Amino acid sequence: MDTCLEGATGAGRLIESLRRLALHALPRMYLPRQRRFVFCIRRTPAGDLPEGVSRRYTAISLIGLASEPPSVAGSILAGQDPAQVCRSLIDETGAMTDLGEVALTLWAARALGLEANKAALAHLEELDPAKGPWPTVEVAWSLAALCYGSLGLSQPALAERIARRLLASQDVESDLFAHWPPEVPRSRLRGHVLCFADLVYPTQALSHYYIASGMEEALMAARRCARRMVQLRGPAGQWWWHYDVRTGNVVERYPVYSVHQDGMGPMALLALKQAGGEDYAQAVERSLSWMERAPEIGRSLMDEQAGLIWRKVCRREPGKLSRGLQAAISGAFPSLRMPGLNWLFPPKNVDWESRPYHMGWILHAFGPKA
């Protein structure tokens, strides 16, 4: 992916730091016997400890490692070959009931140039991302899986149907993508709410699809969404969390996730640039600058001492109260928001958790220098 940020010496330094932390954290998150990455590392009284196992996060980590030199990938995977790890995922696709796992596995296989991906492709077709009751994010992953990498566009007819489903999920007034495709039933309370991921992955997938297919509609949709994303940023470059698909306005700002700032936001905008869309280098720089010093907490989530990047800055509140209140109020009155939330529930908390997919998206967004 094109990661050139002309004249952005500060951004270049930050990217180097982020890559170093990602490459340092991933070996601690890998389980060689299972050939899987953990779900997370969490800070506990006993130390920073690994928890769980995740197929999704394994696939995303492999997508990130696909652009790294074999020696680097091998050192992270305890001497194992990324293609070998990916094949072990492909072997399990028949038992996967989750479209996201299947799509990400196929995407990883294609990123690695692994032609032996027929089982993953066949199961993706069975789960039917063009019609099935899947969320927008997983539909976008499916499109990315069919068109990313050096193997060329796979299953062109299916890819076009998926692309058109994504296009139908974009609101013509707000330019944002709904959390669910239009024909899937939505919650009456939260049906208008979408999250930042619902903007990132369709923008990225449609940009890659345009490169593979030349469909102008795909590029135009990605450009419109990216433009609105950039307009809605916070004053310190924050990518806010929840939005109203009807109006294109922010519903609730927090949490601010570090992976949005240094991985997902930049990779969507860089994919658009690669497709010939606008160059949002300044937005990428601002996105990264929040990582160096988040104004909400007065410091960075990049923890050099721990060798990890912490997950998010969030409100001090019981459960997900703010998000629930904002969704309910904005659902009934689109222009209204709950006042005083920053005073009642200040965004001063850090989520002391680090996940391998975060590291994978950093490496995917910002590959090694040529």
Q: Report the b/e string of 188-219 with b at 16+ CB within 10 A.
A: eebbbbbbbbbbbbbbbbbbbbbbbbebeebb
Q: Which residues contact 289 (CB under 8 A, 6 or more apart)?
A: 10, 11, 14, 236, 237
Mean pLDDT of the 157-186 span: 96
**pLDDT value at residue 3:** 52
pLDDT score of 7 more than 50: no
Minimum mean pLDDT among 150-159, 162-171, 262-271, 286-295: which range? 150-159
Contact 143, 155 (CB under 8 A): no
Mean pLDDT of the 307-318 span: 95
pLDDT tens string 219-242: 999 999 999 999 999 999 999 999
Candidates 332, 262, 322; CA nearest to 294 is: 262
pLDDT score of 193 more than 70: yes
**pLDDT value at residue 336:** 83
Q: How far apart are CA 3 and CA 367, in angstroms?
A: 8
**pLDDT value at residue 190:** 80
Q: How far apart are CA 353 and CA 37, in angstroms?
A: 15
Average pLDDT, the chain: 94
- Phi first, then psi: what are they for 172, rounded to 5°? -75, -20
> Confidence band (pLDDT; 50, 70, 90) for 2?
very low
pLDDT score of 332 more than 60: yes
**pLDDT value at residue 116:** 81
- Give the residue with greater pLDDT, 208 vs 2: 208
pLDDT score of 134 more than 90: yes
**pLDDT value at residue 5:** 57
Residue ranges and CATH numbers for the domains of the chain are 9-365 (1.50.10.10)
* Bridge partners, 252 (sequence order): 242
Q: Cα dihedral sign for 308, 309, 311, 312?
A: positive
pTM of the full structure: 0.95
Q: Residue 45 class from Cβ within 10 Å (0-12 exposed, 13-18 middle, 19+ buried)? A: exposed
Amino acid identity of 257? Y
**pLDDT value at residue 65:** 98
**pLDDT value at residue 8:** 54
Mean pLDDT of the 340-367 span: 95
Reading phi first (left if > 0) and then psi (alpha if -120 to 50, else beta), residue 307 is in: left
DSSP string computed for 75-103: HHTTT--HHHHHHHHHTTGGG---HHHHH
